[in-house]
Amino acid sequence: MTFMLRSALACRWEQFLFRPPSAKLHGSKDRYKIKLRSIGYRLVYEVRDAEVVVLVIAIGRRDRSEVYRVADIR
């Protein structure tokens, strides 16, 4: 992961604590996305309350929704 990507994610870490309806992925129960528009990346994460875990599923560019396809496979 590049320094630029890490820095952008570090600034947005508080979003992991919440579940904004606008960030919910369609067709999945507890998966959400964070858009890093300035660098063109998306982060897909899953919230697991029973384990008190936020699991990062995929990080990647939005190019033709590739990051979302990778997240669906995982």
Q: Active-site residues: which are they?
A: 33, 62
Q: What whole-number distance in Å separates Cα of residue 55 and Cα of residue 70?
A: 14
**Contact at 8 Å (CB) between 16 and 54?**
yes
Encoded amino acid at 40, one letter: G
Query: 3-state class of 67 per DSSP?
Result: helix
